[in-house]
Every structure is written in C-alpha cells, then in structure tokens.
Structure 1
Amino acid sequence: MTAGSTSDVSGTAGTAGTVQAAGEHVRRVARGARDSTILHVLARVGFAASGLVQVLLGALAIQLGVNHFADADQSGALEQLGRLPGGFVLLWVSAIGLLSLAIWLVVEAAVLRAAKTSTLWARRLRNLGKAAAYAALALTALGVAQGHPSDASSSTRLLSTQLLALPGGAALLVLVGLAVIGVGGYLVVKGVRRRFLRDIELPDLTGMATVLTLLGVAGYLAKGFVLGVAGSLFIVAAVTVRPDAASGLYGAFESLLTLPLGVVLLIATGAGLIASGAYNALRAWVARF
C-alpha cells in the first residue's frame, strides 16, 4: 500500500470516528432530554389532554347519532373544550402538553435501540407518526385558543382535492386510505392482544389494573374501527373521483349512520372513544417512561 493510500484510509477512519463520536454525543443529549423530569410531567399532561379530547369526540359522536350534531371532529371537540369553564386555560395547557408529548416521542425515537435494523426503524417511524399526530392536535388547540379554529373535515377534503389533481393522484389517495386502514388494523390488533399494557406500569390494585385493561381494549378497538372507516372513505374518494367523500372523522361518523343499525354502531363507537379517553387520562399517571 502506498503512502497516499495509507493516508486516505487513515483520513476515512478518522472521519468515521468523528461521525460516530458526534452521533453518540447527540444520543447522550437526547437521553438526557428524554429523562428530564419537566418533559415527563408535560408529556403526562399531553396524555391527559389527548384523553380529554377523545372523551369529547366520543360524546360528540353519540350526539351525532342521537341528534345529528354537526361538529364531531377534533377541532369541534376542542371548540367544545374551549366553551367549558376555564376552557381557555385548558386549551393552552393541553396544547403545551400535547406538543411536549410530541417532542418526547421524537427524542425517544432518536435514542431507541433494537437488535434488528428493520425493527429499530419500524419503532422509530411509529414514534414519529404519533409525534406528528400529537403535534397537529397541539396546533389545532392553539388555533382554537387564539380564536382561529380549523375545520378538520374541510382540511381532509382539501388534501384529497390536491392529491387527485396530481398525476397518479387517485393511486396516491388509495395509498393514503390503505395506510390509514393499516394504522386502524394495527390499533385493533394492539387492543385485542393487549400490547398497550407494555406502555404502562399497572398499579398494584387488582381492580384498577382490570379497569385499565378493559378501557384500553375498548378504546383501541374503537379507534381502529373509526380509522378503518375513515381510510375506506379515502379509497371511495379516489375511485369515484369525489374528494368530498374523504371527510375525516366526521365523514366516518356520518357514513356509519347510513348502515343498518348505524345509530347503534355510532353510539357504541362513541362509547369506545370515551373509554379510550378515560384510558389515556389514567395513562397520564401510569405511563412507562
């Protein structure tokens, strides 16, 4: 080997060592942030806020089934929250907690380790997907707190319209629908197999552990079912070239009303979402960090 090639190898090795050291430093900083007491407290507030929103969504779904109430989506739920006594403060606290929870999930994704690379990236992508959802909900809460509510159903229809306008847009919209259905299926499996128990520290009280388990199963089944219906509407929008068919949670709730025993289905789904909200509120205290 020549002196020049030896120098190149040394330089490459030195660069690789520097990159590895920098990566390890970033992971140390991320671990420190993840273990921060303040961030943990705010993340727990985020779980509680998410639970409150889901309880309101469930209540709105039941109202839609009984009285055809018109604001059964996340922004509608947050507007209802804003109307409660002290609702303005609750919105700001919820937004801060939800955003902190999103940050914690991103940090957690950065420090995750796994034996298999494929498993590692699957877990990271799952965390990042959750973080994006919580961040979006936090921004919606901020918008409502500032007097600028966003209509989630209109935003979904706009996204569908923009996708359909692209070359191959119908195929893209089908992929979005399949992805949403896939997430819904994952939530159903997680509920049926009780995998959510890995995320929490069950209390010593046997009764409380049973309550948490039942709420978790019902909640995950309801969320998975709703997402499955919402994802199907994306596919319907793509096949019929009608972007208005993809209308998010509200569209999913409305579509249930067109089915036999639709009112019963919608009320049961609303009850499941309330169970999910109660589970998330309790999870705020027993989450595993």
Structure 2
Amino acid sequence: MSTVIVRDHRDAIEKGARLGYLARAAIFIVIGFFAFRTAFAGGDTISEREAISEIIATPFGSISLVLLVIALPAFAIWRLVQAVLDADGYGTSFKGLATRAGRLVSAFAYSFLAVYVGSILFGVSVGGSGGGSQILERWAQVFGPWLTIPLGLIMLGVAGSQIGKAYTGSFLRFVSLPPAQAAWMTIVCRMGLVARGIVFAAIAVLLLTGASRWNAAHPPGLEDGLEEIGSWPYGWLLLSATGAGLIAFGIYAIILARYGHIRSPDISSALK
C-alpha cells in the first residue's frame, strides 16, 4: 500500500514539473518576443507578470489562466524539491549548495507568480497596501541599499553560471535528447542559457552601479535588465539578440518538459 502512495506522489511531482516547464516556456517566449520587437519597432520590454497578462489576453486566455494556476505552483514545488531534497544530486559542496540555493530562490519567485495568477482567477487584490508590504518597504529604506551590492554579486554569479552551463554543456546531463534532433536542440539550449546569463549580468550592473536607486522592496527584474541592455552601445542589436535568446530559452524549457530527467526523491522517507 505505501509503495503505491510513494509512486503516486512521485508521478504527481513529475507531471507537475513538466507542466511547470511549459508555463515557464510560455512566459519567456512572450518576454523574448517583446524584447525582440522593442529593438526594431519600439515599444516597451515587459516583466513576468506582464507576460502572464499577455498570455491570458489571447483567445484561449481563460484556459491558459487555469493552466497557469495549476502549473506555476506545481513548478514552485518542484523547485523546492530540487533545493531541499537535492533531486538533481548536486550534493553539499559549495557549488552544489549555491546551485540549490538558486533553486530555492526560484521556488519563491514562482510562488509569487502563482499567487499573482491566482489573484487574477479569483479576483483577489494583491496590491502593496497591506501591512506586510509596508513593513518590508520601511525595512528596505534602512537596510536595502546595503543589500544591493551582495545581491548584485549574486546576480553576477548566476550570470556566470548560466553562461558556463552553455559553454560546458553541463545541462545535457539533465536531458535525453533524441539523436536525430540533438544537434539543433543543443544549439538552441546554449543560446537560451547565454541570453538568460546576459540578462542576469545586466541586472547585476543595475544593482552594483545604482545601489541608491534600488532596495529590497523594489529590486530590478527581467524588464529592467532588458531595458539596461537596450541602453548599452549597439543596444538595439544586443536587445534583439537577447530577445531571440530568451525565446530560445523558452524552447529550452519546452525541451526540458518533454525530455528532461525529473526524478523526485521519496519525500516520505526524506521527512522521516
């Protein structure tokens, strides 16, 4: 009896993770499209929340909204399993713990997106007028500027990690690509990882050079990073390449959803 239950929760986590990767793919493809379009035709880059709004504004928006409400919490749970239970086998070395910490941050980020999507579905406000938000903002006014430098260094480390994965191909150990498509899929995955690394590098630049402008309550995100890239020399070219790369990262997420190794550990045993 217990064996069946364990198998069921592992299957549920795997299916939820794959659905979550598809939701992640949709978000990054939309963000990448707007960045690419902005480089050539003007307009604005968009954030993850705005990408979600664009997705649910499509003719299939109602269905997409329901799927996102299911997929984003499921992906947050998978990230939590990766971080806490070391589902990917990174171990307890410094590099392994740093990678798992990144998974934990990702779990929180997708949890916030899940709350945002749920608020749209159920019509609940998640604005910043609550007491908790006011406490965070007051705390950030005192300590926020001091935290932007360490956070910027972390973002720089994440950027290097993403580009390093693309260069070494270490991400390939987490997927089983079909031999006939492996060549082009690998190229797309590398492009996506490099583009995401560039965006993280841009966010790091914003944090490290403008500590007085940012605080823990309102840190720069993807949208700000893309705007920063657009302001660099030959920014339109870099922004268009990064936008195309983020679309590639979305395709990478689709590849992970289909061919990724998703092996949840036995949660029941781990919690004993």
TM-score (norm 1): 0.75
Q: Kindly indicate whether residue 216 of structure 2 is the aligned counterpart of residue 242 of structure 1.
A: no
**RMSD of aligned C-alpha atoms?**
3.1
Equivalent of 1:181 in 145, 152, 156:
156
Q: Please tell me whether Structure 1 or Structure 2 has the larger radius of gyration of its CA atoms.
A: 1
Deviation at 1:115, TM superposition (A): 6.6
Give identity over the alignment, percent.
Answer: 26
- Report if the CA contact (8 A) 1:101-1:134 is conserved: yes
Moved more, 190-199 or 92-101: 92-101
- Which of 29, 39, 62 aligns to 1:88? It is 62
Q: Which residue identity does 2:163 align to in structure 1?
A: V
Q: Which residue of 1 aligns with 2:234?
A: 261
What is the DSSP-based 3-state SS (H/G/I as helix, E as strand, rest coil) of the residue aligned with 1:85?
A: coil
1:138-149 to 2 correspondences below 5 Å:
138-146=114-122
Structure 1 pair 107–210 and aligned structure 2 pair: CA distance change class (3 A): same
Moved more, 177-186 or 107-116: 107-116
Distance (whole Å) between structure 1 residues aligned to residue 170 and residue 135 of structure 2: 32
Other-structure match for 1:209: 182
SS at match of 2:210: helix
> 2:203·2:225 contact (CA, 8 Å) conserved in 1?
yes
Gaps of at least 5 residues in structure 1 are: 1-27, 152-157
Q: Which has the higher contact order (CA 8 A, sep 6+)?
A: 2
Matched, 1:251 2:227: no
Q: After the TM superposition, which residues 84-163 of structure 1 pair with which residues of structure 2 at under 5 Å, given as runs?
A: 84-112=58-86, 118=94, 121-146=97-122
Aligned 8 A contact 1:160 1:246 in 2: no
1:46-69 CA-partner distances (Å, limit 9, x unpaired):
001101111001001112222332
Quote the residue 2:172 is aligned against: 197
CA shift at 1:223, angstroms?
A: 0.3
Report the number of matched residues: 250
State how far apart, in whole Å, the 2-side matches of 1:236 and 1:57 are: 25
Contact 2:16 2:78 in 1 (8 A): no
Cα shift at 1:122: 4.0
Assess, with a 3 A threshold, how the Cα gap between structure 1 residues 257 and 98 changes in structure 2: closer, same or farther: same
Kept in 1: contact 2:167–2:190 (CA 8 A)? yes
Alignment deviations for residues 59-117 of structure 1 (CA, whole Å, 9 cap, x no partner) = 01112222332351111111110111111221221231121122123234443367756
Unaligned stretches of 5+ in structure 2? Answer: 128-133, 263-272
